[in-house]
Structure 1
Amino acid sequence: MVTTKALGDEGEERALAHLRRAGLELVQRNYRVAGGPGRPAAEVDLILRERDGTLVFVEVRQRRSSGFGGAAASVTPAKQRRIVRAAQHYLLQLRTPPPCRFDVVAIDGDGLQWFKAAFEAS
């Protein structure tokens, strides 16, 4: 039996391969920030760099089918806030933060869609 973790890892690998073919360079995987009282932990699945220097924070979502709104619909506003919080924490490490954007790679069954600038930090 394949675990949910194994499926997630497979989805991340597939997304990463797709993004690398598009010319992005991997900076870091699974960047995590601990939660606190009343605040859940936060994570960015993939952090990549575009050729122009833009830092791209990528959320990878995978579903076996597109039912229930599909993978892209599962990136809720609450999930977006956690991704933004992790990205802000990551950027604190950099002397001069580069331009950034938040992308989503949605995998529904065999289909893969890359949504550039899927949401903004607000």
Structure 2
Amino acid sequence: MAEHNDLGKLGEDMAADFLTKEGYQILDRNWSFQKAEIDIIAKKNGILAIVEVKTRSNLDFGNPQDFVNPKKIKLLVKAVDEYVNRKNLNFNIRFDIIAVKKDATNFEIEHLQDAFYHF
């Protein structure tokens, strides 16, 4: 596996651990529908959190959250609609981003709630 894939997987694991410690129940990870993949689907207090995880070891080109573009958002919305319908869920839905930033020795996790779309 390429080094950037290893870093991405580590970031997703760290994000899932972070959410669990914050009281979220992880329902699914890496759930796919057509061309979309939802990194983490979690719930807490009647809210279904759809979490996109972005991990970067170099911030020269911007923060991790800057890499969630309109095309990705559109795909995620379509995937969430399918997920909710398949599972027959009735939750308020929130789209979050967890940005994982790595420097030489440390990781920093930033949880951006209601980051790009809310319905």
So what's the TM-score if we normalise by structure 1? 0.86
Deviation at 1:11, TM superposition (A): 0.5
Deviation at 1:2, TM superposition (A): 5.3
Taking a change above 3 Å as real, the CA distance of residues 21 and 5 of structure 1, as seen in their structure-2 partners, is same
Percent sequence identity over matched residues?
30
**Unaligned ranges ≥5, structure 1:** 35-40
Question: Runs of 4+ in structure 1 displaced over 3 angstroms?
Answer: none
Shift, 1:68, TM fit: 0.8
Alignment of 1:1-122 (within 5 A): 3-34=3-34, 41-50=35-44, 52-109=45-102, 110-120=107-117
Residue-by-residue CA offset, 1:66-117 (whole Å, 9 max, x unaligned): 2211201001111111111111110111334211100000112122110000
Worse overlay, 14-23 or 61-70:
61-70
Count the aligned residue pairs: 115
- 1:118 is paired with a residue whose SS is coil
Write the distance in 2 (CA, Å) between the matches of 1:2 and 1:90: 30
RMSD of aligned residue pairs (Cα, Å): 1.6
Corresponding letter in the other structure for 1:120: Y
Counterpart secondary structure, 2:30: strand
Structure 1 CA distance for aligned equivalents of residues 75 and 30 of structure 2: 13
User: In structure 1, what is the Cα distance between the partners aligned to 2:37 and 2:2?
Assistant: 23
Counterpart AA for 1:80: I
Paired residues of 2:100 and 2:108 also in contact (CA < 8 A): yes
After TM superposition, the score normalised by the length of structure 2 is 0.88
CA contact 1:55–1:100 (8 Å) conserved in 2: yes
